[in-house]
């Protein structure tokens, strides 16, 4: 299926855009506390940007690969990778649209309903979402007639949000934009920052911007994949260049506290393989006491060694073992002359495939529901992306689910492969045929 004209143009822009040398530098010092970085968390070799999908024409030209080496700070225990590509090169035109995952849309609806009721949000309130994508979450506040604003740096995605009726500006967020909004009389009763904190290279400026924009009695809701779950679930494929930082509760709380913000509550969520939702207020707003859940989680992480470098260093060997096990499984299947397709042209899958060296010699094609990716190729491996209907046409023997965090949803959508004896498989936490 040919790629839509709009995304073909976006892909061309991505390939033409080369970050300036001044913005491409290895990370030698912690982006939060500035301590030297000397300890490896996971070295995944050289990979392209996980969301830079080439056309077939572009695949005939050289492709840029960057080091994907996560390190842990021995001082503050923030896990992080270097800024080898400028955010403008990664996020100005982006291929990920949130509205194509049913479970994520349901998650957003529940959040909007519960938070609106808990905080008493109404027509006089103001909600801001940072990295608001295509308006998938804020449209729930629009439906409730709660004034809101999306801030989304990807111009192609921000345009889609505005078309859906969600007020959206296309800029990178930080103290500069926060002060500009404040000067216009805008202060947020609720700031939502779902899965964006990891995407920010200038972490301190981003958090200071949230502090500036937050109303005196406002609330910040921050969601991010929990580093404890990443380690326990062997989720190394969630490491890619768009994710600059990887947070434990302890490290996130430390970063926010330094800016004058207080985490007063926390929820543990199943999303993205295990995430945290932090409830944050101004430090001087003492109306809401720190919950037992927040105190207990901090104590648990300390007990599990999340303030000990050895905990992080042990992860590297698990990553290498998973690579060997996945390759052994795929070699066995191919030696039996079986055909393998994959589901989900997701960033995590691109990290996995490039690190393991898996291309079209193992996987015939990958299917994805997003029409914005269909007709393009996966970065690095150049596996073609097709519509899900391709599965019924080619009837693969195995379907490798790359976004394993959506395993149940995808298995339900593709249960028909059992009609011809097809089987599902997942690579994480360990490679297994289901």
Determine the 3-state secondary structure of 348 from DSSP: helix
φ, ψ for residue 147, nearest 5 deg: -55, 140
In this structure, whether the domain defined by 98-288 belongs to CATH 3.40.50.150 is answered with: yes
* Choice between 141 and 86, residue whose per-residue pLDDT is larger: 141
* Window from 102-106, 222-226, 259-263, 298-302 with minimum mean pLDDT: 102-106
Reply yes or no on whether the pLDDT at 18 is more than 50: no
* Window from 5-9, 93-97, 114-118, 414-418 with minimum mean pLDDT: 5-9
Reply yes or no on whether the pLDDT at 20 is more than 50: no
> Can you tell me the mean pLDDT for 101-120?
88
Rounded Cα gap, residues 30 and 82, in angstroms: 9
Rounded Cα gap, residues 256 and 210, in angstroms: 10
From start to end of 305-415, where are the E strands?
340-343, 366-367, 385-386, 398-401
* Window from 5-19, 85-99, 113-127, 219-233 with minimum mean pLDDT: 5-19
Q: What is the pLDDT of residue 427?
A: 96
Reply yes or no on whether the pLDDT at 3 is more than 70: no
Q: What is the pLDDT of residue 90?
A: 54
Domain 315-433, CATH among 3.40.50.1820, 3.10.180.10, 3.40.50.720, 3.30.70.260: 3.40.50.720
Confidence of residue 15 (pLDDT cuts 50, 70, 90): very low
* Window from 154-163, 178-187, 322-331 with minimum mean pLDDT: 154-163
H helix count then E strand count, the chain: 15, 17
Report CA-CA distances (Å) from 412 to 96, 409, 425: 22, 5, 13
Reply yes or no on whether the pLDDT at 11 is more than 60: no
* Choice between 24 and 223, residue whose per-residue pLDDT is larger: 223
Confidence of residue 176 (pLDDT cuts 50, 70, 90): very high
Please enumerate in sequence order all residues whose Cβ is within 8 A of that of 292, keeping only pairs 6 or more positions apart, or say none: none
Determine the 3-state secondary structure of 73 from DSSP: coil
Q: Which two tokens stand for residue 338?
A: 């079986």
Report pTM: 0.83
> Can you tell me the mean pLDDT for 83-104?
58
Is 98-288's fold the same as 315-433's? Answer: yes
Rounded Cα gap, residues 328 and 430, in angstroms: 12
Per-domain residue ranges of the chain: 5-87, 98-288, 315-433
Average pLDDT, the chain: 90
Rounded Cα gap, residues 350 and 356, in angstroms: 10
pLDDT (tens digit per residue) in 21-34: 334 345 589 999 99
pLDDT (tens digit per residue) in 371-426: 989 999 999 999 999 999 999 999 999 999 999 988 999 999 999 999 999 999 99
pLDDT (tens digit per residue) in 341-375: 999 998 999 999 999 999 999 999 999 998 989 99
Neighbours of 358 (CB within 10 A): 23
Q: Which two tokens stand for residue 225?
A: 């994949």
pLDDT (tens digit per residue) in 30-87: 999 999 999 999 999 999 998 889 999 999 999 999 999 999 999 999 999 987 666 5
Confidence of residue 335 (pLDDT cuts 50, 70, 90): very high
């Amino acid at each position: 299926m040919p790629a839509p004209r709009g995304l073909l143009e976006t892909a061309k822009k991505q390939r033409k855009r080369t970050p300036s040398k001044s913005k491409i530098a290895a990370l030698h010092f912690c982006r939060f506390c500035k301590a030297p970085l000397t300890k490896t968390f996971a070295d995944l070799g050289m990979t392209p940007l996980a969301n830079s999908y080439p056309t077939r024409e572009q695949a005939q030209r050289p492709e840029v690969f960057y080091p994907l080496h996560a390190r842990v700070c021995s001082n503050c225990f923030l896990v992080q990778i270097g800024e080898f590509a400028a955010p403008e090169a990664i996020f100005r035109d982006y291929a990920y649209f949130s509205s194509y995952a049913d479970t994520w849309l349901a998650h957003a609806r529940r959040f909007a309903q519960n938070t609106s009721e808990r905080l008493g949000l109404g027509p006089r309130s103001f909600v801001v979402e940072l990295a608001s994508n295509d308006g998938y979450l804020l449209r729930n506040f629009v439906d409730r007639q709660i004034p809101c604003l999306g801030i989304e740096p990807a111009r192609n995605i921000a345009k889609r949000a505005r078309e859906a009726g969600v007020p959206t500006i296309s800029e990178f967020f930080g103290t500069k934009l926060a002060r500009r909004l404040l000067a216009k009389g805008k202060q947020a009763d609720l700031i939502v920052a779902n899965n964006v904190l990891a995407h920010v290279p200038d972490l301190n400026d981003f958090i200071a911007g949230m502090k500036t924009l937050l109303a005196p009695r406002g609330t910040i809701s921050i969601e991010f994949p929990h580093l404890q779950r990443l380690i326990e679930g062997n989720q190394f494929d969630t490491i890619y260049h768009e994710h600059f930082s990887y947070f434990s509760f302890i490290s996130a709380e430390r970063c926010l506290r330094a800016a004058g913000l207080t985490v007063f509550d926390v929820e543990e969520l199943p999303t993205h393989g295990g995430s945290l939702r932090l409830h944050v207020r101004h430090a001087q707003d003492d109306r809401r006491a720190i919950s037992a859940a927040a105190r207990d989680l901090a104590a648990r992480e300390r007990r599990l060694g999340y303030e000990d470098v050895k905990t992080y260093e042990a992860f590297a060997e698990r990553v290498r073992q998973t690579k060997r096990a996945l390759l052994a499984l795929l070699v066995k299947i191919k030696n039996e002359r079986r055909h393998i397709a994959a589901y989900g042209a997701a960033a995590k899958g691109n990290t996995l495939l490039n690190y393991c060296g898996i291309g079209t010699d193992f996987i015939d094609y990958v299917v994805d529901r997003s029409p914005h990716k269909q007709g393009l190729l996966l970065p690095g491996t150049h596996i073609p992306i097709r519509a899900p209907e391709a599965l019924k046409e080619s009837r693969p023997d195995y379907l490798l689910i790359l976004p394993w965090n959506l395993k149940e949803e995808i298995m339900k959508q593709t249960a028909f492969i059992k009609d011809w004896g097809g089987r599902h498989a997942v690579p994480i936490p360990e490679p297994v045929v289901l």
